[in-house]
Each structure stands twice: as C-alpha cells, then as structure tokens.
Structure 1
Amino acid sequence: MNAKTPDYLLESADKSNAKWKDKKRYLWLLSPAVPVIGIAALSAYAVAPKKLRALAWVGPALVHGVIPALDRLIGEDTSNPPESAIKDLENDKYYGRIVKAFIPAQYAVTFLGAWLASRKNVPALDYVGLTLSVGAMNGIAINTGHELGHKHDKVDRLFAMAALAPTGYTHFAVEHNFGHHKRVATPEDPASSRLGESFWKFLPRTVIGGFKSAVTIEKERLARKGKGFWTLENELLQGWAMSAAFFGATAAVCGPRSIPFLIGQGAYGASLLEVINYVEHYGLKREKLPNGKYVRTSPEHSWNSNNIVTNLFLYQLQRHSDHHAHPSRSFQALRHFENAPQLPGGYASMLLPAYVPALWYKLMDERVINHYKGDLSKINMDPDRRAELEVKYAAVAQKAADADKTEKESSVTEQAA
C-alpha cells in the first residue's frame, strides 16, 4: 500500500492487513552492519597492509561509491505501512535493538583504526584512508544518535550521546531536537541551507551557529530549573565529558600518533552530518504569517528520497518530511508523502555534488524554483546573493510561473467539461 492509495481503500486495507509484516525487517540490519564491515576490512588490512592497502579506504568507498551505485541499481520504494500496523511497529523492541547494536561495533572499529594509524611506518596515504574510513563509520553513527536522541527514554538518550561521542558532536543532541526542529526551513536556522549558498559557505555557518544555539538552549533550560550552566545536569557538559574520556582513553592506549587520527576522523564524520543537513532543506522556506510566526512544518519543507538502499543504511532518514512532522516516530514507521519535494537521487548520491557548487546549483536551483512555481520571494535564498540570483533566475522563474498557470487553466477546463 503506498501514499497514492485512495482514502476509501485505506480503511479496508487496514482491516485486511491485520497481520501485515515488514518485508524489510531483516534488511534494516544493513545499518549496524556498516561498522562490522569496517572491522572486517581493517582487520584484513592489519594482517596484510602491503597487499590490501585499498581496504584502508573502505569508508569513503562505501559512502561515496557502493551505496550510491546500489541506489541506482535497485531503485526506489514508495510503500508505506498501513495505519493498523504503526502501533505494533513502534512497540516492536527488535527495531530499537538494531539501532543500539551499531554502537559497540562503532567503538570497536574506531579503536582498531586508531591502533592501526598509530603503528610505526604507516604510509601517509594509508593514514589518511584509515582516518576517513573510521570518520565515515562515525558519521553514519551520528544518524544512530539522531534516531535515539528523539526518544523520551533516558537510556535511549544516553545511548545517543555515546553514538555521538567519537565525533565530539554531542551538542547535536541538544541543538537538533530543540533548535533545528523548531526553526527548520527558516532563515534563522543555521542547519537549513539557502539557495545560492555553497556547502563551503554553509559549513562554518552551521557548525558555529549550531554550537551557539546548543549553548543557548541548554542555558535557558537550566535557568528554568533555577540552575547555572556549570552543573552536572548540563547535557552539553555530560556529552563533552564522554567525548573527552573516549579520546583520552584511546590516545593513552594507542599513543600520540593516534591524536591527529582521532581529530581528523571526528571532523570528517561531523562534516558528513553537515552535508546531509545541507541537502535536506536546501532553499526551502516556511511562509511567515502576519503575526510574525511561521506556518507549521509540512511535507513541502524537506527534500525527500525513496532510494531504498540509502534508506536501509540511514534508518529512512530520507523520509525527512514525516520525521519533522513526527520527531519521535521510529524509523520503521516513517511514511512517504506524494507532495513532498523529491531529490534527483538518494542522500548518498547527493554528497559529492554538494561539494561542487556549480554542479549542485545545476542539479538543485531550478528544482527549488519549480517547487515554488516561480515565486522567488518564497525561497530561502542567500541574502548576500539575492539581487544577483533574482536576475540570474528571472527567466527560469517566469517559465515555472507560466507552466503553473497553464496547469491551473487546464484543470479548470477539465472540471468544467
């Protein structure tokens, strides 16, 4: 059953699907399999580093090569679980265990990578490959932290912090939940990219803005409880302590040569999160009401994709519209919406284009303008380039507006007939 199914059929379908089963139930194991693949590859490299040097680069190969290729090969899945199955899906503890299973393997592959990078006579190219490979694993782990961080259970939030600690990005659990979800698709949100803004311009804005936002949010939360910033209840301090403990313990065991590795893998892992942030809301903007508030977040405010392989690896993060509508909804229950804007490829396929501004603008800018039917005033646009972009895209906007007008006129004619 998919999102195109008429409402009058959904009710009968729900009744007939009382015993509906998730056909992807065991395919979801692909996500916790990522660090296991990393452990296997780096273990083989450890045994024969001269013969198997390419395995030091397993992370970038997986993220930028294998997953995008499988996306193109296998295609999309727009199916949704029936409403009658949602409650059972949410209550099935199997899915939560899958998410948590990522974390011990994540720590193992990080420690293994640090040990390999700290060995004497490791070629510089291999050192870089090991750094990026482990960084890729921990970048994907941020999505594990994202899934767990939206739960209300304290144990789940603790696991979320544990998943984020190896990248040193634990403040994400605070800013994302209470900052980004509140301000998403607005000019005020540091994690929502603007049309005409390159990833390289967005990166420092989101990193610095996200960090400042997290500090402000936590200060305000603690102030409401009558506490100052320097308290054991401060979730930012708790997260930073976890990162410091992990980095310190790993460096103590593996030696000083592991320190650049730890810093580099954390930076690369965090950058993977931020490039996904860049993709998710590019150019999209919620309308501002006369009272100064923004309209409620809806499916049209997130870029989505139904490429099945990336969705399996990233807990359906690509069904981003439903996530923003229901932040605590578990990944296995997220739905596809027909009216949500769709990317030209899966998230994994969009990473490399995002690094190349000219290619990214070619892929996405006209898509954004068409989404808003040529009305440039509705777009979240880079304010430093607005005048330039309005001139550049005037013809594109007019074409989109004319196409929308023709479509409406055709619809009226069909209704009249």
Structure 2
Amino acid sequence: MYKYFKHSYLTCWIVPAAALTVFLAPQWAFFIPVVITLLNAVGDILTPPDRSVPEYSQHWILDAMVYLYVPFVSLYMFSLVWIVSPGDLLGLSAWVAGLYPVDLLAIKEAAGLRGLLASTFAVGYVLSSNHLYAHELVHRTTDKMAMFTGRWLLAMVGDAQFSISHVYAHHRNVGTVFDAATARRGESVYSFFLRSTIGQYGESWEIEGQRLRNRGKALFSVHNRVLTGLAMTALLYGLWYLAAGLTGAAVYTFVIVLAKFLFETVNYIEHYGVVRVPGTRVEPRHSWDCDTRMSSNALLNLSRHADHHANAHKKYWELEAVDTPLQLTYGYISTIVVALVPFWWHRFAAPQLARWDRFSATPEEKLLAEEASRASAHPVFMSATTKGNSQCSQNI
C-alpha cells in the first residue's frame, strides 16, 4: 500500500501540521519553511534516487491525494486569517475551548506581531504548493471538476490565469523566445520572476482574446477566463478585508507574492537556458530533469519534468524519470536555494548547458544557443560555456 501514499507528504502531513502550528504556536511558525526545506534537501541527498513507475489499479486513491489538499490548505489559509483578524473570528476559540482545554485567543494575543509575521511567511511559503496541485488538475482540460478545483487553488494565490498560459502557451512555446516561462541564459531568478509573471498574463489575455473572437463572444465579459480568475481572487480579497480590514488585505498580498515567487523559481530551474526552434517537436532534452526521491514524492513527480513536457497527457503517477543531459542532481528544494544566489546558480548551470549545446542540440539549436550565450553578456556563464565546449572537444 505504500506506493499509494508516497505522494501524500504534503496533503496528509505537512499542511495539517502547519495549520496546527499556526493556531497553537504562531510565533514558532517560521520553523515550518525551515523544516520543510531541510527535510526535502537532506532527504534528497541521503536517499537513493527513485525511478520507479509502479502499476496502480486504484487510481481514485491517487486522485484523492490531490483533492484532499484543497480542504487542508483552505484550513491553513484560514489559520492565518484568524491570526490577523481582531478578536475571536467566528467564535473559533470559544468553540475549541468547549472541546479541549486550549485558549486559542490567549495564544494569539501572546504571540503578537512576531506570531503574525512568522505565520504570514509560513503560509506564503506553503501556499506555493497550490500551483503544484493545480498544475496536475488544469492539465485535465476535459474534466470540469478538475478544472474548477485547479482554478480555485490558483485563484487563492492570485494566479488563475496559469490554467491558460501554462497549458496553451508554455507547453507549445517552451524553450523558444515566445515563452514567458522559459528562463534565459544569464537571467537571474529575480528578473525572471517579473518578466515571466507579466508575460504569462499577456499570453493568457491573447489566448482568451482569440478564443472569444472565434466563438463570437465579447472580450470583456463573464466568458473571459482571465477576468473571471481575477474576480475569484478579488472575492477572496473581500473575505480577507471583511475579516481583518486593510491589514488582512496587505497580509494576503504578501502571501500571494511569496507563493508566486517560489513557484516561478520552480519554473526558472525547469527550463533555464534551453533553446528550441519554434514549431519543432518538444523533446525530453528540452527540460531539466530530476530523479531524487523526496522531490519525486513530495512534488507529485513534477521533478520528472522532461517526460511531462514530452507527454503532457500523463497523470502524475504515470511520469517516468528520463536520462536527459540536464539534471538537477541535488533535488528541487536544494536547487531552488542555489537559484536564489545568481552567481552560484550560473556556475552550476553553465557547464551543463555547454555540454547540452555540443552534444544534444540540433544544428539549428546550436546557432540559437550561441546567440543566447552572447545575448546573456554574463562573463561567468560565457566563460563556463567556453570551458565546457573545450573539455567536450578534448573528450572527443
């Protein structure tokens, strides 16, 4: 039975435990991101890679692991709403006190500003996982329940448009200059975050505009999924404001920005520096891949990204680890930490891209790669690329 629950890490353990921490010890909530980061990083390093693709007969259990995330993460976000709000919102503390000898209101008042700040950061950190679960769901474009659930998860972090730009733009344009979610050579994760976020909204608006024109619908109408997605987030903003006023709205904004930034860091490492001729087939070599155990189990096999882009129809439990030239050998969480330090990240990525250019790129892609390297104007990157090409020549 273990194989059915190896992907339940976040749904059944981390998110419920994080919610209880915010309620019972908000001043210590900063330990939530620390524990998650260390657990994943150390687990990836100390455990052997997981390249298995088990056979499953009870697919409903695997789907349940995705859908169960929704009520748990909603409770988690509510824990922060309750901490930010004045008094005993919805009488929660009184209700709990009637069941257990716990005074949540006293705990909140004692935690003070420290508890508020720690809880805000902890919730923003974990809610970046909304993109992860929504990513699995919005690829099921013919499943109305999956799309509805996925869009609400994205709306919670202000990014419902992702259901459009990711499926219909990123998967079509990955590795090309037309894709906002492909990081360019020499680009830092911070500049990528701004460019990618703005670019994805532009892609979604363009896609929706074309879809609505084809159907004879008005662009500014309830049929526009970009606008309805923004309305969903606006509704949540309204609830935060009713519960906690302007402070609640400010806290929610921070949660959204942090969650989006962390997920865009994932986007950043998944295709950094890769080039592809527009219109050509997307192959596994156009993605960075990762076969570490904790990343695979905790992230619904998102780490098997090369297979995902080559076979986007596969559900998360069907994805395979692929021997691509670009490997995130230390796992996703560790690599995200590296990506936050641009100098460190470029030194890690440039040699692998140099080998990719020489041995994996097509003749047309080699030209694009040379152009991308020159355009980066990044001395460390260009130096590493030149060195990598020289070493490869000697090996031949």
2:99 is the counterpart of 1:104: no
Q: Which residue of 1 aligns with 2:21?
A: 41
Query: C-alpha distance in 1, partners of 2:242/2:373?
Result: 45
Query: C-alpha distance in 2, partners of 1:370/1:74?
Result: 27
Q: Using structure 1 for the length normalisation, give the TM-score.
A: 0.82
Q: Per-residue deviation at 1:172?
A: 0.7
Q: Which residue of 2 aligns with 1:8?
A: none
Query: C-alpha distance in 2, partners of 1:348/1:63?
Result: 9
Query: C-alpha distance in 2, partners of 1:309/1:332?
Result: 15
Q: Using structure 2 for the length normalisation, give the TM-score.
A: 0.86
Which amino acid is 1:385 matched to? S
Could you list the runs of 5+ residues in structure 1 that have no partner in the other structure? Answer: 1-21, 47-52, 406-417
Q: Which residue of 1 aligns with 2:128?
A: 139
- Aligned-pair identity in percent equals 24
Q: Which residue of 1 aligns with 2:103?
A: none
Distance 1:58 1:233, change over 3 A: farther
Query: C-alpha distance in 2, partners of 1:140/1:41?
Result: 18
1:14-413 to 2 correspondences below 5 Å? 23-33=2-12, 34-45=14-25, 53-54=27-28, 56-81=29-54, 85=55, 92-119=59-86, 123-151=112-140, 152-286=142-276, 288=277, 293-339=278-324, 341-373=326-358, 377-379=367-369, 381=372, 384-386=375-377, 390=382, 393-403=385-395, 405=396
Which amino acid is 2:61 matched to? Y
Could you list the runs of 5+ residues in structure 2 that have no partner in the other structure? Answer: 87-108
Query: C-alpha distance in 1, partners of 2:326/2:309?
Result: 14
Query: C-alpha distance in 2, partners of 1:387/1:336?
Result: 31
Distance 1:180 1:59, change over 3 A: farther
Q: Which moved more, 1:189-198 or 1:335-344?
A: 335-344
Q: Which residue of 2 aligns with 1:409?
A: none
Which amino acid is 2:256 matched to? G
Q: Per-residue deviation at 1:339?
A: 3.4
Q: Which moved more, 1:318-327 or 1:261-270?
A: 318-327
What count of residue pairs does the alignment treat as equivalent?
365
RMSD: 2.2
SS in 2 for 1:372: helix
* Superposed CA offset, 1:381-417 (max 9, x none): 36643485546642332212332x2xxxxxxxxxxxx
Contact residue 325 and residue 356 of structure 2 kept, 8 A = no
Q: Per-residue deviation at 1:254?
A: 3.0
Query: C-alpha distance in 1, partners of 2:39/2:203?
Result: 35
Distance 1:123 1:353, change over 3 A: farther
Q: Which moved more, 1:373-382 or 1:305-314?
A: 373-382
Q: Per-residue deviation at 1:121?
A: 7.6
* Superposed CA offset, 1:323-346 (max 9, x none): 112223110111112235211211
